[in-house]
Amino acid sequence: MKKKIASALFILVCGGLAVSALMHMMDDAEGPGDGLSESETRVLTQVIAHPYPDGGYNVVSPRTVIAPLWGHDARSTEARKQTILAALAPKDPAAASMVERLYQRNNASVHLALKSQPDKGYIVDDGRYEALFQPDGGGWAKWRTAYPKAREYIRFSRPVYDPRTGLFIIYIEGRDAASGAGVVKLLKDDHGKLITIGVAPLWKL
């Protein structure tokens, strides 16, 4: 009898672990066409959320930007990577592996299936805002007159989320008519609350 009970418990435990692992894999699976897991999408929407009291909003590009992570050649790319590591590695021992994964996932620009959330302070560009910066598009001057409540134009890399540690890393940049900056952020998802672990500045206007 004891052997049967022990065997049953073993099956239940192993089965539970298998189900847990399967759910973990499903949660981290990439969504169709966008290359983001459900967890990454959930955390990403928190990162770009920025409600404005006056109803203003940021404009988010649905296409990832990768150029700021890469240099003109292997040497300059490595130098850029070391700049990121120097800022983030002292903050968390897992930063080095997260930076490597960030580069692995951003060797090409991809289109992300994001939805606008005006109540959270951002809309996803449908091409109208990007068109302003094409030849004869009007630039920031037209931006201000045509979309007076639009604040910054936000672009970011494909993010990386590690559900085991709760760490999330992303390159993100924002520009407006007067200034701009691009940084790599290492954050931690602490039971739904994002905590900034470290920031690595890459450029500033």
54-85 pLDDT, tens digit each: 999 999 999 999 989 998 889 989 999 999 99
- Model confidence at 137, pLDDT cuts 50, 70, 90, reads very high
Whether residue 2 has pLDDT greater than 60: no
**148 Cβ neighbours under 8 A, 6+ residues apart:** none
Q: Rounded distance, CA 46 to CA 44, Å?
A: 5
Mean pLDDT for the chain overall = 84
Tell me what pLDDT residue 35 has: 67
Whether residue 189 has pLDDT greater than 60: yes
Tell me what pLDDT residue 18 has: 34
Whether residue 10 has pLDDT greater than 80: no
Q: Rounded distance, CA 133 to CA 153, Å?
A: 11
Whether residue 22 has pLDDT greater than 50: no
Whether residue 179 has pLDDT greater than 90: yes
**201 Cβ neighbours under 8 A, 6+ residues apart:** 87, 181, 182, 183
Nearest residue to 167 (alpha-carbon basis) of 73, 81, 71, 98: 98
The residue with greater pLDDT, 163 or 90, is 90
Whether residue 178 has pLDDT greater than 80: yes
